[in-house]
């Protein structure tokens, strides 16, 4: 399948033959599984210290006929600290229902959160996510404001761009003004997250894919940059939803053909 290649002004420069990867059926089930596995595999284990709530000299006083027994004293038979000053004397400690006690069923740091996925399934998920970037229905369904030709392929001159101004000029030339306006709006997060360094939510927008690093893309709100070798399923389908608006360089398309056919 032939498709157009554009220059940095948004004008047609020539044509290129797309690899077969761009025309395979979209497997949304595999894409979802691969994204969830990728998210799970980078999850950090967490849990309390094993001695949390147990650093106390409190012990059980309910045994009958022993010194300090609580039998017949109308006191709950719980581990209690004794020979301490003030209100801390004979205060219940250690067990979950007491102040400062251990948790009953805390998260375990040794729990393995990883999810396995077969190599062939992962490769098919990547190829399927790449093919989804050529489907206008999926791209518009994600909320992107673009109705032109897909995929968008730009000349390799894009690799030498260093200023955000030049990238915006190219995007305006590709009739992506509405998309730039969409990502320019920020939403205030609901809930406690506003107090934890994540007050605003920004929309996921254009993904740029090339064969080498391009400076300046990271300064565009909601936009990401990846090389072909570092491209993952989650980059192409954030939140397991395939069809992200992607701009490829001519060299990146050829590299996709070499890697995936």
Of 135, 142, 119, 112, give the one whose Cα is nearest residue 30.
119
pLDDT at 68: 67
Collect all residues with Cβ–Cβ distance below 8 Å to 41 and sequence separation of at least 6. Answer: 113, 114, 115
Of 112, 136, 156, which closes a domain?
Answer: 112
State the residue for tokens 């565009």.
220
Do 147 and 224 lie in a common domain? yes
Do 71 and 120 lie in a common domain? no
Show the domain range for 147.
2-43+113-260
pLDDT at 39: 96
Of 56, 81, 112, which closes a domain?
Answer: 112
Do 82 and 202 lie in a common domain? no
Do 39 and 105 lie in a common domain? no
pLDDT at 219: 85
Of 159, 180, 169, give the one whose Cα is nearest residue 225.
159
Of 235, 234, 210, 205, give the one whose Cα is nearest residue 220.
205
Q: Do 127 and 17 meet the contact criterion of CB atoms below 8 Å apart?
A: no
Q: How many domains does the chain have?
A: 2
Of 9, 8, 238, 18, give the one whose Cα is nearest residue 150.
18
CATH number for the domain including 164? 3.40.1370.10
Do 22 and 148 lie in a common domain? yes
Cα–Cα distance between 33 and 54 in angstroms, integer? 41
Do 247 and 132 lie in a common domain? yes
Cα–Cα distance between 205 and 221 in angstroms, integer? 8
Do 119 and 96 lie in a common domain? no
Q: Do 184 and 171 meet the contact criterion of CB atoms below 8 Å apart?
A: no
Residue 165: other Cβ atoms inside 10 A: 9
Do 94 and 119 lie in a common domain? no
Do 102 and 228 lie in a common domain? no
Do 125 and 172 lie in a common domain? yes
Q: Do 249 and 230 meet the contact criterion of CB atoms below 8 Å apart?
A: no
Do 107 and 128 lie in a common domain? no
Give the dihedral sign, CA 193/196/199/202.
Answer: negative
Q: Do 115 and 41 meet the contact criterion of CB atoms below 8 Å apart?
A: yes
Of 112, 146, 167, which closes a domain?
Answer: 112
pLDDT at 229: 93
pLDDT at 211: 92
Q: What is the pLDDT along the chain (261 residues), one digit of tens a residue?
A: 889 999 998 899 999 999 999 999 999 999 999 999 999 999 999 999 999 999 998 988 777 777 767 777 778 888 988 877 777 788 889 999 999 999 999 999 999 999 999 999 999 999 999 999 999 999 999 999 998 889 999 999 999 888 899 999 999 999 999 999 998 888 999 999 999 999 999 999 999 999 988 877 888 888 999 999 999 999 999 999 999 999 999 999 999 999 987
Which tokens sit at 197?
């360094």
* Beta strand pairing call for 79-80 and 59-60: antiparallel
Do 100 and 219 lie in a common domain? no
Which tokens sit at 23?
């025309």
Side-chain half-sphere CA neighbours of 36 within 13 A: 9
Of 97, 107, 111, give the one whose Cα is nearest residue 53.
97
Of 168, 176, 150, 179, give the one whose Cα is nearest residue 242.
150
């Amino acid at each position: 399948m032939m498709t157009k290649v554009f220059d940095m002004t948004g004008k047609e420069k020539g044509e290129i033959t797309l690899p077969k990867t761009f025309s395979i059926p979209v497997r949304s089930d595999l894409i979802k599984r691969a994204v969830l596995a990728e998210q799970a595999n980078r999850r950090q284990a967490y849990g309390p210290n094993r001695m949390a709530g147990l650093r106390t000299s409190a012990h059980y006083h309910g045994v009958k006929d022993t010194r300090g027994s609580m039998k017949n004293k109308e006191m709950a038979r719980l581990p209690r600290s004794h020979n301490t000053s003030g209100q801390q004397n004979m205060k219940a400690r250690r067990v979950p229902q007491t102040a400062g006690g251990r948790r009953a069923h805390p998260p375990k740091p040794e729990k393995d959160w990883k999810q396995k996925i077969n190599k062939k399934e992962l490769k098919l998920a990547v190829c399927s996510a790449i093919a989804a970037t050529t489907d206008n229905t999926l791209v518009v369904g994600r909320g992107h404001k673009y109705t032109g030709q897909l995929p968008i392929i730009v000349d390799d001159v894009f690799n030498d761009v260093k200023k955000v101004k030049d990238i915006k000029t190219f995007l305006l030339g590709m009739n992506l003004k509405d998309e730039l306006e969409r990502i320019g709006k920020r939403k205030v997060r609901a809930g406690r997250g506003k107090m934890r360094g994540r007050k605003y939510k920004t929309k996921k927008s254009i993904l740029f894919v090339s064969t080498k690093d391009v400076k300046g893309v990271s300064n565009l709100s909601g936009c990401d940059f990846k090389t072909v070798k570092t491209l993952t399923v989650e980059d192409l389908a954030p939140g397991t939803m395939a069809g992200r608006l992607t701009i490829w360089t001519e060299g990146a398309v050829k590299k996709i053909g070499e890697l995936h056919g």
